[in-house]
Structure 1
Amino acid sequence: MSHFPLEGLLVVDLTQIYNGPYCTYLLALNGATVIKIEPPGGESLRRRGVVGGAGLPFAMLNGAKKSLALDLKSEEGRKAFLELIGKADVLVENFSPGTMDRLGLGYDRLKALNPRLIYAASSGFGSTGPYKKYPAMDLTVQAISGVMETTGFADRPPVKAGPALCDFFAGIHLHSAVMTALFDREKTGTARRVEVAMQDAVYASLSSSLGLWWGGHGGKDAPPRTGNRHAGMAEAPYNVYPASDGWVAIICVGEVHWQRLSTLMGKPELQEDARFGDLAARVAHIDEVDAIVGEWTRTRTKQEIFAALMEAGVPGAPVRNLDEVVHDENMHARGALQHQDHPEYGEIIVQQSPMRFDGLTPMTIPPSRRLGEDTYEVLGAMTSLSQDEIAVILGRAEGAKGGTSNAKV
């Protein structure tokens, strides 16, 4: 029977919303035992479930984890937490810097308790520097990091990216930091604190826009937004073009792609036209390039264009809506998306880890747990708390929820 790479690794998870939970979700899908600890009322993302389908993201990011409800300000909650830390390999948190210290549960105390603990933290701007006390969410980091200023069209206001890029970029980097620290611990025996700032994590994604700025084509007063064109204005064609039933994205990375596209459009003579003879010339005449390509695409359907591009070996894709994306045949065929019968949300579709390991079949993802569902089981098995102390913890969770706990004493 195959074993997942992180089996035997114990992770204590204090994360919330998107950033930290995605990091610990990736750890869980690779076999780590992840104990998600939430306050008795539940973390913020879980509470969003009262608004329409807003509960789905929680289910998408917290499957394959155990759920504990602990009040870390209470004596019993802190005792339980510290006993779990004594056994843990990794702690992950994405509170504002200083929060854990104010709880009396900062890095120095936890390291003294467990010298082999990898302490992983993520926040908007990091624990050092002049921004360290600033509150941060994906929207505000998109604004301050340059993402919004480089998204949209030059003659219109800046626009946020649709996906929560800063949160998830940070979560991916946090996962990488944890794995790097674990590797270092195995080699040297030294366990470290690692951190990832959302602002730091997103900077490299501005590469194309920074190329345009650095190359002197703009300057600080030039509008950097290029719409659907290349952010560095260094590729043509590179745009989203109209189809008879929507839109299609097309890019020619090399000369061979332009040759194939011009032939596909029935205009091989463009290859001999000095205006389009090489990349620099096409960028200089980018409006004409886009007009020619758009004239060809607008009379055809998205699927017709896509099929023709794939046959010709030209990079392109239809612009799909979310319903089409959720039912993408390639992602389902690869197991990247899985149907899941969730006890709270019914039939949903959740994402598998993008990582694949030769000879290892990705796990069938267990649904996210109800708040505190594993509190009794985990504390009974992994701590020295008495039945009475566990009962107090469960009582606080029930009181905060205004209902009855799913865990039983």
Structure 2
Amino acid sequence: MQDAPSALTAASESAMMKRPLEGVTIVDLGQIYNGPYATFLMAMAGAKVIKIEPPGGEKMRRRGTVGGAMLPFAMLNSNKEFVTLNLKTAEGIALLKQMAAKADVVLENFAPGTMDRLGVGYEVLSALNPRLIYAAGTGYGSYGPNKDMLAMDLTIQAMSGVMASTGFPDRPPVKAGPALCDFFGGIHLYGAVLTALFRRERTGQGSLVEVSMLESVYPSLSSTLGLYYGSGGQNPPRTGNRHGGMAEAPYNVYGCTDGWVALLCVADKHWEGLLQAMGRTDLLAEPRFKDLQARVDNIDELDALIEGWTSQHSKADLMQILTAKRIPSAPVREIDEVVNDPHMHARGTLKRIEHPELGSVVLPTGPMIFPGTEKTELVPSKTLGADNDAVYADWLGLEPEDYAALKQAGAV
């Protein structure tokens, strides 16, 4: 059977729908991960995203290309148009107002109050464009006792309980490896913008939306919170690779001859299948493991029993056995295995390209797939200010002499 893309006929290709956000223009003032990820998702859904950077470039761009330090910038800024704008000049502020008057969305993730102090906050911009969606990504929100605390992924992990619930019980708390809070915030910011655009379709009115990183990550603590409430309000211990609510067993990472495999049994059929794979169906009647609660109560013995079996096999052999028994499991993969994952490359959600500054790299195209929609080709991030002429002269329609004056004044 042909895969979906190659099976499409010329007729069906010509009948494809436009991309979901075709015709929507985003003025992107995002920086680091939070805002840029939200606007990257919009760009890959077909929006025109104009990324505004200060004359020296956005913080992640300034890391440079040595050692791949600029790769995150490339990952989050594909398919955008790049302009420079100096918001420390009166001319730059006036230019942003002109852009907001023509755009559908202005998005930023500065500290709360920054845009108001510059004179381009929601009240000012919405007066110029009543249909404007103004989106603000923040650490703690624009109001509340902690609104002025500086927020980075590390500090939100500390404040949110992510650190307290990550690691092993006999060791200090640790941060999660990925920048979870930044990206959780960015995903919710994308959702908030799309929700506001949907409301605008119904009412004709723009609006202000804000998303807090702290509040975005809180629901992910659900298992840990279950243990907290289930213990009468006692702070749960860190559970290592075990279930955060200590409500599932087996649920762990088990050693094998060449690494580790993660496996869990969330239903009795999984447990029965695992015992069959282990050749230990005699344990079905064992009181220590007879039901889920018994397995949780005897989790140390259970884990030792399972690892005694897994330690005799390779990752590949284990995955063949576990997959055949339909047991939820996966090998613990190194980063190079993930970057070159045949599955994601086959789906087109990872793509190897030649980046003009970084050379051959693998970049994401985004996790959202819209079957029957025109394909978005990945366009790598560009050099600083690469689209100044196209955006300011063509899209915004500045007269040549006005545009020249702005460049002379250092506003762009």
TM-score range, shorter chain: over 0.9
Output the CA distance in 2 between the equivalents of 1:354 and 1:261: 32
Identity %: 56
Is there any run of 5+ residues in structure 1 with no aligned partner, and where?
401-409
From 213, 216, 232, the counterpart of 2:245? 232
Q: Counterpart in 1 of 2:185?
A: 170
The reply to whether residue 7 of structure 1 matches residue 22 of structure 2 is: yes
Alpha carbons of structure 1 residues 83 and 299: separation in structure 2 relative to 1, 3 Å: same
User: Could you tell me whether the CA contact under 8 Å between 1:240 and 1:248 is conserved in 2?
Assistant: yes
Output the CA distance in 2 between the equivalents of 1:322 and 1:362: 28
Q: How does 1:59-138 map to 2 (within 5 A)?
A: 59-138=74-153
Q: Counterpart in 2 of 1:153?
A: 168
What is the CA distance between 1:362 and its match in structure 2? 3.8
From 13, 38, 58, the counterpart of 2:73? 58
Output the CA distance in 1 between the equivalents of 2:254 and 2:396: 60
Output the CA distance in 1 between the equivalents of 2:316 and 2:157: 33
What is the CA distance between 1:81 and its match in structure 2? 1.4
Output the CA distance in 1 between the equivalents of 2:104 and 2:94: 18
Output the CA distance in 2 between the equivalents of 1:304 and 1:397: 63
Output the CA distance in 2 between the equivalents of 1:51 and 1:199: 32
User: Could you tell me whether the CA contact under 8 Å between 2:348 and 2:365 is conserved in 1?
Assistant: yes
Output the CA distance in 1 between the equivalents of 2:275 and 2:226: 28
Output the CA distance in 1 between the equivalents of 2:406 and 2:27: 18
Q: Summarize deviations over 1:303-354 as a string: whole Å, max 9, x none.
A: 1111111111000000000000001111111111011111111111111121
Taking structure 2 as the reference length, what is the TM-score of the superposition? 0.93
User: Could you tell me whether the CA contact under 8 Å between 1:209 and 1:224 is conserved in 2?
Assistant: no
Is there any run of 5+ residues in structure 2 with no aligned partner, and where?
1-13
Alpha carbons of structure 1 residues 161 and 104: separation in structure 2 relative to 1, 3 Å: same
User: 3-state DSSP class of the match of 1:52?
Assistant: helix
Q: Which amino acid aligns with 2:86?
A: D
User: Could you tell me whether the CA contact under 8 Å between 1:70 and 1:393 is conserved in 2?
Assistant: no
Output the CA distance in 1 between the equivalents of 2:401 and 2:76: 32
Alpha carbons of structure 1 residues 324 and 361: separation in structure 2 relative to 1, 3 Å: farther
From 385, 390, 395, the counterpart of 1:372? 385
Q: Counterpart in 1 of 2:339?
A: 326
What is the CA distance between 1:382 and its match in structure 2? 2.6
User: Could you tell me whether the CA contact under 8 Å between 1:76 and 1:392 is conserved in 2?
Assistant: no
User: 3-state DSSP class of the match of 1:78?
Assistant: helix
Taking structure 1 as the reference length, what is the TM-score of the superposition? 0.94
Output the CA distance in 2 between the equivalents of 1:322 and 1:392: 49
The reply to whether residue 265 of structure 1 matches residue 278 of structure 2 is: yes
Q: Counterpart in 1 of 2:373?
A: 360
Q: Counterpart in 2 of 1:405?
A: none
Output the CA distance in 2 between the equivalents of 1:357 and 1:84: 29
Q: Which amino acid aligns with 2:280?
A: K
Q: Counterpart in 2 of 1:406?
A: none
User: 3-state DSSP class of the match of 2:225?
Assistant: helix
Q: Which amino acid aligns with 1:15?
A: G
What is the CA distance between 1:273 and its match in structure 2? 0.7
Q: Counterpart in 2 of 1:308?
A: 321
From 243, 254, 266, the counterpart of 1:241? 254
User: 3-state DSSP class of the match of 1:44?
Assistant: coil
Alpha carbons of structure 1 residues 99 and 72: separation in structure 2 relative to 1, 3 Å: same
Q: Summarize deviations over 1:136-184 as a string: whole Å, max 9, x none.
A: 1000000010000000000000000000000000000000000000000
Alpha carbons of structure 1 residues 106 and 312: separation in structure 2 relative to 1, 3 Å: same
Q: CA RMSD in A?
A: 1.6
